[in-house]
Amino acid sequence: MGDDYVKVRVQLEQMRSFGEDAEKEEEEEEEEGADAEEQQQLPGSSPPHAPVSPDPSSVTIAGSDASSTSVTCKQRGKSRSRPGRDDKNSCGKHLQDLSLHGSAAHAGKNLNRLGHERTLHIRGTGKILQGKSETNGNYVSIHPSKNIPEVKLANKRRPVTVDTAKAKTSLEALKISIKQLKWKEFPLGRRAACDIYWHGVSFHDNENIVSGQVNKFPGMIEMLRKINMSRAVRTMQELFPEEYDFYPRSWILPEEYQQFSTQIRMVKENDATVNPTFIVKPDGGSQGDGIYLIRDPSDLKLMAGSQAKQGVVQEYIHKPLLIDKLKFDIRLYVLIKSLEPLEIYIAKEGLTRFCTEPYQEPSQKNLSHVFMHLTNYSLNVHSGNFVHSDSQNTGSKRTLSSVLYRLAAKGVDIKKVWSDIIALVIKTVIAVVPELKVYYQAEIPPGKPGPTCFQILGFDILLMKNLKPVLLEVNSNPSMRIEHEQEVAPGVYEYVPSPVDKEVKVGVIRDTLRLMDPKHENLSNQTPRAAGFEHGEEIPLEAEIQERSPDEAALPSLCLKQVYPKYTKQFNYLRLVERIASLFIRFLGVKGNMRLGPTAFRTFIRTCKLSNSNFTMASVDILYIDITRRWSGSTPDSREAGMGLQAFVEAFFHLAARRFKSLPMREQVASLLDLCEAQLEPQSGAEDRRSVSCSRALPRANKTQSLGLTNPQLNSPTPLRRAASQDYRLHQRLKPRSLRANVEN
């Protein structure tokens, strides 16, 4: 642990105990808007029962037709500008129509709990979904967890302090959460350090934080933009095509326009009956802005004035699962509690957003129908058909559990759906973590005191007709608003409470805080059970037995469920790129740097003994120049010259292919990693004994680390690397059926 770091922490502790309430800072000017997308509807009271009809139409595709042309998605009554928000896309394949399988027996297993009443407990929300059999059909009612008692803190400990000055649109939900926890809010900020800083947009909302925890990771916004996300997933698809088939095929614009065009032309020439549709998304877009559908590459709008438009064009999932003939998507909240060790939690309750025009497969005529094809709340709220409902299981925005319940009632195996969703989330996080670690070390280099980070992400997921979940995008700033806008007079809008949003989002924020409680590690550090990951095991609709402290007893059980490291065994083998990132970070050299210079690249090659008479240092230089030049063209926003992580990964794949020609690709990469790590092993002994964490208030490494080559805290310690390597080998040998079933079914 660095001495400087220890001193700073001691000073901070002293400041905290003296300066508790000492200050009131100047007022912060707050401008809304940087937050994520939508908020919600639903005013009023709550009709307790809503019909759950096994209407077969709700899971069928309406109509089909085909022809071509593209039209831009226009429309938008009013749109707020929301900086910090980003996107990602989804995946797809031409799906086969699998009719909903299972039977009433599936549903019955979950439903028939209390005599003739069907009751689903929604873990962590304190809610009960109740379905009553009546002659005329089934009814579902939800008893919202209103009036959550505030925690009676048994001990008189100093309350956890939260700086909410930059919380922006999360503020309402955050205030309620802090109150429920009996923590202390600093709405105007505070001169002394707080335990937690809640930012509305990015890590940088407050500068110069040297301790505590911030609810944003550096680089998350950049990583989750559509282009970067597509690249990160594509890298994983190269290594693990089957595991990453949940993301639709995507091409990056403008650089891959030619490839896109040629590939589509060839597909059509091979089979004239194939007429796929594509969705075009601007890189920095959100809330459906600038999105349009096309059926021919020539319909792409590549230029905006004299500038090439940056974005992605993506396979359009043309057979989504429908409910009431409407397309819908799922908003799932995911907490990354820590990067190292990787800790991921999934909220058991989420939202579903419905289109407002009955779905038809894309055709020349309907390509421009945004209310049919795009599920964005921000668009559909302006449709005359938008249903504001107080109920959680009707209307154009509903809870995820109410939709799952509805599907279960039709015989859908929702346990399988849920476990597929968990797998999708873990794999997606694994895809973005390597680059996040690079951002983290650049922002808070070793020896520099800084906060640790956590972040709530919003996953947008589409269910295909065959029930396979597809990733549409990940939002770094999901809206945490618990009100929605209502037009009270023509052109005059005001915010009114939205019960559905409140129910879901307060739970997510409150329980995130509980997990991040600096004084209450045991909640989050429950030893992961050595659980199997077979579909059917994970479902958010069951009562959860959970040991809780007396303080916690007054609160509902956690609505966030740990999925990693819980499922380490099943997914650890996928973390190959993260190991490449560890090497990259180790050789970065200069603090705060995110790119490798030519000398550092040479040092990497030499240290890992990768050059020989067939691969001279001159060839190494050529490789460096070649790859770096290509990548510098494709990343116009690059802050510095040199080789970024994605370029380094490409170079690494190249080196692996040279060295282990006869092996399949991922074996090549794994073998080269083993080789490099073995070369570095003697040098990393010292650092392995130190703590590694990019997200916990643990000691940071000092300046005298091995090699003098940067941030060992971000490198997996040797035992972890070995474990990852062993997991990979084991996976290769065994390829367990249960894992493969997750993506293949």
DSSP for 36-57, written as a single string? -S------S---S-EEE---GG
User: Total residues contacting ligand ADP (rule CB under 6 A)?
Assistant: 23
Does residue 414 contact residue 541 with C-beta atoms inside 8 Å?
yes
Alpha carbon distance 479, 501 (integer Å): 10
CB-nearer residue toward ligand ADP: 349 or 460: 460
CB-nearer residue toward ligand ADP: 281 or 348: 281
- Torsion angle of C-alpha atoms 621, 624, 625, 631, degrees rounded to 10: 180
Contacts of 59 (CB under 8 A, 6+ apart): 99, 100, 321, 322, 323, 407, 410, 412, 465
**124, 126, 200, 285: which one binds ligand ADP (CB under 6 A):** 285
Percent composition of the chain: helix, strand, coil (DSSP 3-state, to 5): 35, 15, 45
Least spacing, CB of residue 287 vs ligand ADP, in Å: 5
**2, 84, 92, 644: which one binds ligand ADP (CB under 6 A):** 92
Does residue 162 contact residue 184 with C-beta atoms inside 8 Å?
yes
**90, 141, 170, 705: which one binds ligand ADP (CB under 6 A):** 90
Least spacing, CB of residue 328 vs ligand ADP, in Å: 8
Least spacing, CB of residue 427 vs ligand ADP, in Å: 17
Residue count of the chain, please give it: 745
**84, 131, 248, 362: which one binds ligand ADP (CB under 6 A):** 248
Does residue 642 contact residue 587 with C-beta atoms inside 8 Å?
no
Alpha carbon distance 12, 15 (integer Å): 5
Query: What is the token pair recorded at 606?
Result: 């030499």
Alpha carbon distance 597, 642 (integer Å): 5
Least spacing, CB of residue 676 vs ligand ADP, in Å: 36
CB-nearer residue toward ligand ADP: 329 or 727: 329
Choose one: 278-286, 541-549, 642-650, 712-720; the region binding ligand ADP (CB under 6 A).
Answer: 278-286
Alpha carbon distance 741, 736 (integer Å): 9
CB-nearer residue toward ligand ADP: 316 or 728: 316
Q: Which residues pair with 251 in a beta bridge?
A: 313
Query: What is the token pair recorded at 124?
Result: 């962590």
Contacts of 4 (CB under 8 A, 6+ apart): 447, 449, 702
**46, 70, 89, 710: which one binds ligand ADP (CB under 6 A):** 89
252 binds ligand ADP per the rule CB under 6 A:
no
**59, 347, 472, 651: which one binds ligand ADP (CB under 6 A):** 472
CB-nearer residue toward ligand ADP: 212 or 478: 478
| Distance, first Cα to last Cα, the chain | 48
Least spacing, CB of residue 318 vs ligand ADP, in Å: 7
Least spacing, CB of residue 233 vs ligand ADP, in Å: 13
**279, 594, 608, 672: which one binds ligand ADP (CB under 6 A):** 279
Least spacing, CB of residue 473 vs ligand ADP, in Å: 4
Contacts of 76 (CB under 8 A, 6+ apart): 287, 288, 289, 378, 379, 382
Choose one: 23-31, 83-91, 180-188, 561-569; the region binding ligand ADP (CB under 6 A).
Answer: 83-91
Least spacing, CB of residue 393 vs ligand ADP, in Å: 20
Choose one: 58-66, 339-347, 370-378, 494-502; the region binding ligand ADP (CB under 6 A).
Answer: 370-378
Does residue 101 contact residue 412 with C-beta atoms inside 8 Å?
yes
Least spacing, CB of residue 472 vs ligand ADP, in Å: 5
Long-range Cβ contacts of 561-564 (<8 Å, 24+ apart): 561/123, 561/124, 561/345, 561/346, 561/347, 561/348, 562/343, 562/344, 562/345, 562/524, 562/526, 562/528, 563/344, 563/345, 563/346, 563/422, 563/425, 563/426, 563/538, 564/342, 564/343, 564/344, 564/426, 564/429
287 binds ligand ADP per the rule CB under 6 A:
yes
445 binds ligand ADP per the rule CB under 6 A:
no
Least spacing, CB of residue 281 vs ligand ADP, in Å: 5
Strands 303-304 and 307-308 turn out to be antiparallel
Alpha carbon distance 522, 519 (integer Å): 9
The pattern of x and - marking residues 304 through 333 that bind ligand ADP according to CB under 6 A reads: ----------x-xx-----------x----
124 binds ligand ADP per the rule CB under 6 A:
no
Least spacing, CB of residue 304 vs ligand ADP, in Å: 16
286 binds ligand ADP per the rule CB under 6 A:
yes
**170, 180, 376, 572: which one binds ligand ADP (CB under 6 A):** 376
Least spacing, CB of residue 330 vs ligand ADP, in Å: 10
276 binds ligand ADP per the rule CB under 6 A:
no
291 binds ligand ADP per the rule CB under 6 A:
yes
Alpha helix (H) ranges present in 240-283?
257-270
User: What is the binding site for ligand ADP (CB under 6 A)?
Assistant: 87, 89-90, 92, 248, 279, 281, 285-289, 291, 314, 316-317, 329, 374-376, 460, 472-473
